[in-house]
């Protein structure tokens, strides 16, 4: 048995550009993404043994496969201001927010602690590659990939989430208990949202390479059984309608600044004498109703751009570095013909029909057809190569490169 192979971490492959949606995947226990979405998504849990076959193959060869990210790398990331991290201890429960000095994180050999690191797809290519296999789910639903590392007994207590989550075991074993219970009341006077009356209905021990999918509001409790236990959680957000409408309305209100006609003052030459002066005048109501109809503010299409812009905003901790030596538009165009231009790992891109939003901004509006098509390619594939792209100077594509939102493949 090769000692070198024993220390070799698992390197998840990048998913193919065109995912085979109707073919069976090991990731889902031999069913296709189409069937997974039909049978399980947002409906019922799914346990998959050997979701990542590489771990089982290594075991069959009497070898070991380590997590793509070592404990030392995770502790180093937890010390950075730009990484959202949390440290949770049990017996008694405590909760702290990073960044953390290395000495404040318990040794891997100590029990009853968990370190959580959010947004790892922007910090490590292995995490980004894992996410690439889930792009059969709309990008607008994706939150991030969180890595949990824990000592024996580590966990966050029995709880429930309001989003869909895939729990992938990457190192060590973790015991999971789940329940579809309706009682989701929380234990008072604790720093964590821990269920007061958790009653497990199913229990499994997940080995490296296993995966558990949970839809929203399934109560669950995961406890580490080995030192350095790592669980990678791919989370899909479920914004409230209140959140979506508030954000859509706010951006819609901002867009009204660009309509000069709305600067006109309300006038009511047809107003009649009234015996009910305290009432909002019917003339005002009628004119506002007509104005809303004229501007199509009573139609959902006027809200969707703002909602798409909101959902394309990067995470709060995202930080973008401008290129050290920015290329001129001409050199940028030349390089673009031979190298892939990629979305930065922290960049979010979404499309609404042919309009493309990047990090909260409409990048195709007011652009040439060629630049707009380039953004559409970036949105669908997350990369772009194009020979002799014209009109780059002052374009949103070039400006996004200068802002660090887009980077060439050898710069990540």
Query: What is the C-alpha to C-alpha distance for residues 374 and 371, in angstroms, rounded to an integer?
Result: 5
Query: What is the C-alpha to C-alpha distance for residues 89 and 92, in angstroms, rounded to an integer?
Result: 7
Q: What does the pLDDT look like over 20-63, one tens digit per residue?
A: 999 999 999 999 999 999 999 999 999 999 999 999 999 998 88
How would residue 2 be classed by pLDDT, with cut points 50, 70 and 90?
very low
- Of the given ranges (74-78, 144-148, 198-202, 298-302), which has the lowest mean pLDDT? 298-302
Q: On the CB side of 44, how many CA atoms lie within 13 Å of its CA? A: 4
Q: What does the pLDDT look like over 334-392, one tens digit per residue?
A: 999 999 999 999 999 999 999 999 999 999 999 999 999 999 999 999 999 988 788 89
Q: What does the pLDDT look like over 301-319, one tens digit per residue?
A: 989 999 999 999 998 888 8
The Cβ of residue 384 has, within 10 Å, a number of other Cβ atoms equal to: 21
Q: DSSP labels for 19-31?
A: --TTS-BGGGTSB
Average pLDDT, the chain: 93
Burial class (CB in 10 A: 0-12, 13-18, 19+), 92: exposed
What average pLDDT does the segment 205-234 reach? 98
Q: What does the pLDDT look like over 127-185, one tens digit per residue?
A: 999 999 999 999 999 999 999 999 999 999 999 999 999 999 999 999 999 999 999 99
Which domains does the chain possess?
3-236 (2.60.120.650), 241-269+280-311 (no CATH), 329-411 (3.40.366.30)
Q: What is the pLDDT of residue 411?
A: 74
- Strand partners for 46: 213
Give kind and range of the element (H or E) at residue 383: strand 383-384
Separation of CA 138 from chain center: 11
Query: What is the C-alpha to C-alpha distance for residues 15 and 295, in angstroms, rounded to an integer?
Result: 43
Give the 3-state DSSP-derived string for 134-192, with helices as H, strands as E and coil as C: CCCCCHHHEEEEEEEEECCCCCCCCECCCCEEEEEEEECCEEEEEECCCCCCECCCCCC
Q: What is the pLDDT of residue 6?
A: 37
Q: DSSP labels for 89-106?
A: ETTTTEEEES---GGGSP
Q: What is the pLDDT of residue 32?
A: 98
Per DSSP, the three-state class of 368 is coil
Residue 7 has pLDDT above 50, yes or no: no
Query: What is the C-alpha to C-alpha distance for residues 16 and 34, in angstroms, rounded to an integer?
Result: 17
């Amino acid at each position: 048995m090769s000692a070198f192979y024993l220390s070799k971490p698992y390197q998840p492959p990048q998913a193919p550009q065109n995912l085979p949606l109707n073919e069976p995947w090991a990731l889902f226990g031999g069913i296709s993404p189409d069937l997974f979405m039909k049978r399980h998504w947002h409906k019922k849990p799914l346990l998959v043994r050997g979701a990542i076959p590489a771990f089982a193959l290594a075991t069959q060869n009497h070898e070991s496969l380590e997590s793509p990210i070592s404990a030392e790398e995770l502790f180093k990331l937890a010390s950075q201001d730009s990484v959202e991290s949390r440290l949770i201890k049990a017996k008694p429960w405590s909760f702290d927010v990073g960044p953390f000095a290395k000495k404040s994180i318990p040794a891997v050999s100590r029990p009853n602690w968990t370190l959580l690191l959010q947004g790892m797809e922007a910090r490590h290519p292995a995490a980004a590659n894992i996410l690439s296999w889930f792009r059969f789910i709309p990008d607008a639903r994706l939150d991030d990939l969180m890595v949990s590392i824990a000592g024996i007994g580590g966990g966050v207590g029995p709880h429930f989430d309001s989003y869909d989550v895939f729990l992938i075991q990457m190192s060590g074993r973790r015991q999971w208990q789940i329940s579809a219970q309706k009682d989701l009341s929380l234990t008072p006077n604790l720093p964590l949202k821990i269920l007061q009356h958790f009653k497990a209905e199913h229990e499994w021990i997940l080995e490296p390479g296993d995966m558990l999918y949970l839809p929203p509001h399934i109560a669950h409790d995961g406890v580490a059984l080995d030192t350095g236990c790592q669980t990678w959680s791919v989370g899909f957000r479920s914004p409230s309608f209140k959140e979506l409408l508030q954000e859509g309305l706010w951006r819609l209100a901002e867009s009204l600044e660009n309509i000069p006609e709305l600067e006109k003052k309300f006038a009511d030459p047809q107003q009649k004498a009234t015996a009910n002066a305290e009432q909002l005048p019917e003339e005002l109501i009628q004119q506002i109703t007509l104005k809303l109809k004229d501007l199509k503010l009573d139609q959902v299409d006027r809200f969707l751009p703002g909602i798409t812009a909101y959902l394309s905003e990067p995470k709060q901790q995202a930080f973008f570095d401008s290129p050290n030596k920015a290329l001129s538009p001409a050199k940028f165009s030349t390089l673009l013909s031979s190298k892939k231009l990629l979305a930065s790992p922290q960049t979010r891109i979404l499309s609404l029909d042919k309009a493309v939003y990047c990090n909260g901004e409409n990048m195709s509006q007011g652009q040439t057809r060629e630049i707009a098509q380039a953004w559409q390619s970036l949105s669908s594939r997350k990369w772009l190569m194009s020979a002799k792209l014209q009109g780059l100077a002052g374009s949103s594509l070039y400006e996004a490169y200068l802002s660090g939102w887009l980077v060439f493949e050898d710069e990540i």
